[in-house]
Every structure is written in C-alpha cells, then in structure tokens.
Structure 1
Amino acid sequence: MSTRRDFLKLSLGAAAAALPGLHASGALAAPAPRVLRIGNQKGALSLLKGRGSLEQRLAPLGVSVTWTEFNAGPVQLEALNVGSIDFGDVGDAPPIFAQAAGAPLAYVAATLPRPRSEAVIVPGNSPLRDVADLKGKRVAFNRASNVHFFLVQLLRKHGLDYGDIRPVFLSPPDARAAFENGSIDAWVIWDPFYAAAQATLGARLLADATAVDGNRGFYFSSQNYARQNPDVLRIVVDEIAKTDEWGKTHRAEYAAELAKLWGLPAPIVQQAIDRTEFGTVTITKPILGEQQKIADTFHDLGLVPTRVDVLQAAAPGLV
C-alpha cells in the first residue's frame, strides 16, 4: 500500500513539474515579473519617458520599465548585442553595421521619411550653386552614417560618382569647425546641426534629401524579446505614435522640450522641427527594402565587409 502511495506522490510531482507555474502542492505560482529595458537618445523617447504614460500602460501587464541614456545609436546597438537593453531608437545607418556584426537586431517600427532634415550646405558666400559643382571639392561628412548614403545617392542623381569628390571624414563638431574656418567646401549634415549652421554660420542650402533618401529613424528590439513580448512592444510603439501625433499638432511645445534636452536655443530647434515629418509606422517589407539599398551601397563602398540581408532582421511575424 505504501508503495502505491509513494508512486502516486511521484506521479503527481512529475505532472506538476511539467506544467509551468504549477507547484507540486497544486497551487499556481505567480508569473515571473517582466521588464522592458529601454536605451534612449535625447529625442522622442526622452519625451515619452518624461510623460510616464508608458509605465502606466504596462503596469497592468506586470511589466516594469528602466531607462538608460546613450549619446549615439551605435552604442545603443552594442548594448543590445550584449543583452543590456531590449529596445531603442536609431538612425538608418547604424543597424546595417550592427546586423553585419551579428547583433540579434529586430526592426520594430519606423518614423515617416524625413528628407528635409539632412542636407548639403555651403558657406553663404560660396560659388557653389548646384550639386554638380561639388566635383573635385572637399566635402565633409560623418563616415558610414545616414548622410554618407544620402551623399552617394545625391551625386548619382546629378551624374557624379562618389570618386568625383574629395571626402573629408569628420564628426559634426569637427566638421562645423572646418566649415567655419573654410577648410572644407561643403558639409553634409543633419538636424539640429544643420539648423544651427544656418542660424549661426549663415550656411546656405545646396540640396536636401528630397526625392533622394528617406532618412527614416527606427525603433528596434532583439529577436528574442520581440518574439516573447509582442504585447509589450505593441504598447511601446503605440505610445511613441501618440507622442509623435502630439508633436505634429504642438510643434512649438515639442521644440521647446527638445531645446531643453539638447541645450540649444529654441529658435534653432524650432527650425529643425518645422521641417520634421511626424509619424510612426510599423515595419513593412518595402521599408526594409529601403534599408537593403543602404546596406548594398555600404557593401559596394567597402564599409560593410559582407552582404547584409536586412530581411533577416525583421521582427517575428512580419508578413
């Protein structure tokens, strides 16, 4: 009789162990707490953080939120690669290099195209009047960045090759100094550096990215987190979209908040915001196709050692 009782206990224990959340006593265990670790730059995600609405919406799901601020997209993607964050925001170029390096990247959402937010600028008294005039000139830009791709596409559109210019690889602060002292002929840059150069250096627009490059921003996660937490990511994207919609109809207030974050004069930020297209969209195959063009261009330029298949970084469930 005792043998039968012992066998029954063992059988019940094995069954309980096979059921998630069920103790041997038969009681349901509390679900493990979930967390969303966000890595943000000083931008839209920072505004969302200040509102606290994301935490309120995720609380009923038992999800807590942590925030870590980064100064650049590549650093965020490295944090994703080593498992330190679950979500972040970035421009269009850094994900290409992160995927090439083996990061478990998953594209989750994107901004609308923002072509007027990046441009080729020249000094106000420059003799350059057209993109074709860049031939043989010293053009500064951030290597392997969004404007690197934009410049290549712009040159092609105007009948020039990348080899027709004299590239000068400079970070935005160094490029601004070179622009100011006249050691470069043109500067390819994005907002708010672009707006600041117009306001304080008298920079003149030669061409922006309209009809050349979409210049989207992206929101990313890891493949594992996206697979295991689609409900969390849907809420995050929805809250970002709400912040975007507010910014679209409250541009002055949006600019004022960013001016505080960036430490820039409000009129400069306002100029940048006035040419910003607001809107958040889910990832589609055509959007990843835009990224594929960037990846292929960088591979052709020798910036990416191997060909990147951007579709492999689609979040699980992309149709």
Structure 2
Amino acid sequence: MTSFTRRAAGKTLAALALAGAFGAAAPAVAQEREFRVGYQKSGALILLKGKGTLEEKLKPLGVRVKWAEFQFGPPMLEALNAGAIDFATTGESPPIFAQLASPNFAYVAYDPDSSKSEALLVQGDSPITTIAGLKGKTVAVAKGSNSHYFLVKALEKGGLSYSDVKVAYLAPADARAALQNRSVDAWSVWDPYYAAAEAAGARALTDGQGLVRNYQFFLSDKRFVEKNADILRVTFEELKKVEDWVLKEPKTAAAELAPIVGIPAPILEKAILRQGFGLKPVTKEIAAEQQKIADTFLELKLLPKPINVADAIVEVTP
C-alpha cells in the first residue's frame, strides 16, 4: 500500500468514526435477545403461553421468546441456576433450595395465596380416612416441591411428625402411577395433578387451607434482571392481563386454553378456580414467610445450611 493509499484509508476510517459519533452512520441493527421461560402445567405462565401475547409484545424490543416445560419446580430452578432459562415460576419450597445453590438467584414477583390448590390424597376406596391414619404408611411427594413443605404441615395437623411416615420421593407422573397401583398409600401434590387425580377417583384428606399459603413466585437471575428489566416489565404487564381474564372468565379461559396447554377443560377450570391470581412485588412480609419455610427445612435437616431469603429479593425498577 502506498503512503497516499494509507493516508486515504486513514481519512476514510476517521470520517466513518466521526460520522458514527454524531449519528450520521448507517443505523446499527439491534441484536436480537432471547427470553427463555420455564413453565409447568400450572400457574399463570402456562396460561400466558397459551394466550400467545407475550411474543407479540416483546417482538418490537427485538426479543424472541423460547418456552421450556418442566414437570415440577426443582428441575426448573436447577435450569435457571445453570443459565439454561431466564425466568420461571414455582410454589414456595423450590426457591429455598435454589437460593442455597446460587448467590444470583432472585425473587422478582409473586401471586397470592393458592392454598386450596394442593392436597394430601388417598385412593377413593382407601381405608385411611384421617391424616393420623397415615402413621407408618408411605407417602409420595416431589422432593423440594411446594407440596413437600405442605406435607410437613399436613402431618403436623394430624398429630404426626415427618418421621412418622415413610416418604417416597417421586415426580408427579410416577407418584400418580404409584398411588393408582397402591405402591404408596398417599400422595402430596398440587394442581393440575390434584384435579386430575380427583377426576380419577382420588380423595383428599386435607388441602392446604390454614396450613400453607402456597404463594406462586416468579423467579430469575440477578444479572438477567439488571440487564433486562424492560423484558420483565412487559412480561408482568401481560401476566396481569391474562390473570384478569381468567379471573373474570374462568370457564371461557379453560375452554380456550385446554387444547393449547394439553389439559382437559374441566380439570383446567378447577385448577384455575383454586389458583390465586394478582401479581405483586415481593415484600418483606412475604420474604419473612419464606424464611419460616427455610428454617423448617433446616430443622428437618433437609436444608444443609441456613439461608437469608431477603438477600434474594430483587425489585424490577422502571
């Protein structure tokens, strides 16, 4: 390259840099972002997925939504902590273990009391008619799920301790089969599995009313929240809309969403009616209630060391 060519090239690069600094360069193409959402066959997120509005609202921000289904909470939060998803929702217990595993774990919002949406079930023709009758029996539960803590509280209601029963840690699909073939005597579970089991003839010894709150938490990673608050604000707006809709028109919502989410309409409607809706930021009071759950698991030696739930509360600011 001649000295003239080098000088010309240098001037061209300088001009391009100067033009870029003053906005005269060709507009840059915004890099597409991916929003990876974990969901279960329960709660508001599966309803939002079925409605399909989140994709439409995030598209102008250059955001593509990717959905990932999980059978229950703990595996979903393992994926969140591993960086495989960005956003998730579970009941009360899974976040306790997830926070222990990651300092970046974050609570970002919650839905209110859904205590009616989990139950301790037996077969319809089971001779067991009281919680006390479970002493020495085998109870299935998904380890670390919201129904794990509910089981602890339900046993207390019946005058039993956690060690008074044999606990079989099973995922929902396996637990349902175990209850049906009578390899377990009872099953602690949440909707829509609860509603589906009822439809198949199972009987509830108790639900969660008066025992647990069963809040539904919306969860993320502190680093994701810091960089993508705009995505979360749009997501919350759409969640509120779909929650308002299902509250006002549960039968219509169940009929419309049933084929999309893969749950029969009568079962989905029952689950919707037992679900608490009304998205809110997580308060100190809610964090204190979560702390009680963490302390209970610590006492039972299900949690290896203490955690401070308040450390994981993150506010999504404008």
Structures share fold, TM-score greater than 0.5: yes
Q: Is the 8 A contact 1:39 1:76 kept in 2?
A: no
Counterpart of 1:256, as a letter, is A
Tell me the distance in 1 between the aligned counterparts of 2:50 and 2:196: 25
CA separation of 1:128/1:226 partners in 2, compared to 1, >3 Å: closer, same or farther?
Answer: same
1:282 and 2:281 matched:
yes
Instruction: Quote the Cα distance in structure 1 between the aligned partners of 2:52 and 2:184.
Output: 44
1:38 corresponds, among 27, 30, 36, to 36
SS in 1 for 2:214: coil
State the partner residue of 2:146: 146
Q: Secondary structure at the match of 1:119?
A: strand
Distance in 2, Cα, partners of 1:206 & 1:90: 24
CA contact (8 A) 1:80 1:103 kept: no
- What's the CA shift for 1:59? 4.9
Cα distance in 1 between the residues matched to 2:111 and 2:306 = 25
Q: What is aligned with 2:119? A: 119
1:27 aligns with 2:35: no
Shift of 1:35: 2.6
The structural deviation recorded for 1:282 is 1.5
- Segments of structure 2 that go 5 or more residues without pairing to the other structure are 1-13
In 2, Cα distance between equivalents of 1:49 and 1:175: 26
Deviations along 1:208-245, one digit per CA (max 9) or x if unpaired, are: 00011111221122112222333332221121011111
Partners of 2:281 and 2:315 lie apart in 1 by 13
1:301 and 2:300 correspond: yes
Corresponding letter in the other structure for 1:39: V
* Counterparts in 2 of 1:163 and 1:311: CA distance versus 1, 3 Å: same
**2:114/2:215 contact within 8 Å kept:** yes
Partner of 1:16: none
Taking a change above 3 Å as real, the CA distance of residues 118 and 54 of structure 1, as seen in their structure-2 partners, is same
1:1-319 matches, within 5 Å, as 24-25=18-19, 26-28=21-23, 33=31, 35-41=33-39, 42-43=41-42, 44-59=44-59, 62-72=61-71, 73-102=73-102, 104-200=104-200, 202-316=201-315
Q: Is the CA contact 2:51–2:242 (under 8 Å) kept in the aligned structure 1?
A: no
* Secondary structure, aligned partner of 1:280: coil
Residue 299 of structure 1: CA displacement? Answer: 2.1
Identical amino acids, percent of aligned pairs: 44
Match of 1:3 in 2: none
CA RMSD of aligned residues (A): 2.7
Q: 1:246 to 1:158 in 2, by over 3 A?
A: same
Q: Distance in 2 between matches of 1:259 and 1:55?
A: 20
| Stretch of structure 1 that moved more, 92-101 or 242-251 | 92-101
Is contact 2:38-2:85 (8 Å) kept? no
Deviations 1:169-219 (A, max 9, x none): 22222222222223322221111221122111x211110000111112211
Note the C-alpha offset of 1:279: 2.1
What is the one-letter code of the residue matched to 2:35?
R
Amino acid at match of 2:144: A
Cα deviation for residue 55 of structure 1 reads 4.1
The verdict on how the C-alpha distance between 1:266 and 1:108 changes in structure 2, with shifts beyond 3 A counting, is same
Paired residue for 1:10? none
Give the Cα–Cα distance (whole angstroms) in 2 for the partners of residues 88 and 146 of structure 1: 14
Instruction: Sort the Cα spacing of 1:241 and 1:176 in 2 relative to 1 into closer, same or farther, 3 A.
Output: same
Which residue is equivalent to 1:4?
Answer: none
Q: Are the aligned partners of 2:50 and 2:260 in contact in 1 as well (CA < 8 Å)?
A: no
Q: Distance in 1 between matches of 2:65 and 2:174?
A: 33
| Shift in Å, 1:284 | 1.0
Paired with 2:309 and 2:158, the residues of 1 have a C-alpha distance of 28
Partners in 2 of 1:106 and 1:163 — Cα distance?
A: 32
Partner of 1:9: none
Q: TM-score scaled by structure 1?
A: 0.82
Structure 1's unaligned 5+ residue stretches are 1-12, 14-21
| Distance change >3 Å, CA 123–CA 98, structure 1 → 2 | same
SS across alignment from 1:95: helix
Separation of aligned partners in 2, 1:213 and 1:23: 61
Conserved 8 A contact 2:233-2:316: no
TM-score, L = length of structure 2: 0.82
User: Once structures 1 and 2 are overlaid, which stretch shifts more, 111-120 or 154-163?
Assistant: 154-163
